[in-house]
Amino acid sequence: MRLKLLNWLWLVSGAALAGNPLPLGEQLRVADPSAHVWPDGRLYLYTSHDLECQQDFYMQDWLVFSTPDLQQWTAHGPALDLKAVSWADNYAWAPDAAYKNGKYYLVFPAGTGVKNRSQPEKSTKWMGIGVAVSDNPAGPFKDAIGAPLWRTPYANDPSLFIDEDGRNWLYFHGRDFDYYVVELADDLLSTKGGFIKMDMGGYEPKMEGPWVFKRNGLYYFTMPENNRSLAYYTATSPTGPWTYRGIFMQQEGEHNNHHSIVQYQGQWLLFYHRWLDSPGSACGKQRQVAAEYLQFDPQGLILPVTRTAQGLKGLAAQK
């Protein structure tokens, strides 16, 4: 175990600065960054882990990285491996995390079966959302339920938002079931009440990976619109009704995106992934995590974000 940890730490240079993509490890292909700031004062990223030349995103574990200053990053290794999940054996996709009641929670999607692209009616692929718990923000995490939170609807891309009143709201992407939210119990291990179909103001484009945060009393529901461009809504309640505000990061080619937004050391930050050429890879473009400073106008609207090479290495944006 000690040797494995040393190998993971070796992958990241302590002196590396956080230009884009982030210096998370030269041989690692990671995506779907979920950013959180925990009581130890560090910022943590929970990511999915792409396998080399994988097909249909067949993925097996989730990784953890942290930083004290947005410049030097530490790789902590796997937070959870599907070998430790009894109800799924594939599709270790975009995770999220939370801290509550002195525990750290990893909310993760996983599934079974195979996707048949040529004959979709023969596909057996299914995905659900599980919850794992740890005493340490870097894990290892243990599957706390031994089952998904629910089996129907098919769901992935969880986003867990804990409001100031202590209520726990889980947003997700569902097959034919988007723009729903469900409340979780206080221990985060079961649902509380039924699914709530949110009022999106009449505009409901195809979506993946929602991310919800709160700033100055205003709630933001952000997502990859049509799985490509990052767009958002605002509301005065975590369940809406929501007002569509538009796109704040344009799509890049025909590639998907997945993101998170967090405030750290007085700055708002956007973490996302890009499809980039990977030196030493025979697979062409693969996903890597990047970050930018995020800015708001005086009315609280998100200003457009441009992808940069300097990322968080550049001068800080306005708070």
Closest by CA position to 250, among listed 233, 229, 232: 229
Largest CA distance in the chain: 54
Check residue 283 and give its pLDDT: 79
Position 290 pLDDT exceeds 80: yes
Question: What is the model's pLDDT at position 257?
Answer: 96
Q: Is residue 291 exposed (0-12), middle (13-18) or buried (19+ Cβ within 10 Å)?
A: buried
> How many other C-beta atoms are found inside a 10 Å radius of the C-beta of residue 131?
24
Lowest mean pLDDT among 45-59, 87-101, 139-153, 299-313: 45-59
Write b or e for each residue in 202-240: b if 16 or more Cβ atoms lie within 10 A of its Cβ, otherwise e. eeeeebbbbbbbeeeeebbbbbbbebbbbbbbbbeebbb
Amino acid identity at 265: Q
Which parts of 198-297 are beta strand (E)? Answer: 211-215, 218-225, 229-235, 243-249, 259-264, 267-277, 285-294
**Residue 175: both structure tokens together:** 């097959």
Cα–Cα distance, 160 to 130 (Å, whole number): 12
**Centroid of chain to Cα 141:** 17
With cut-offs at 50, 70 and 90, classify the pLDDT of residue 277: confident
What was the pLDDT predicted at 282?
Answer: 76
Mean pLDDT of the chain: 92
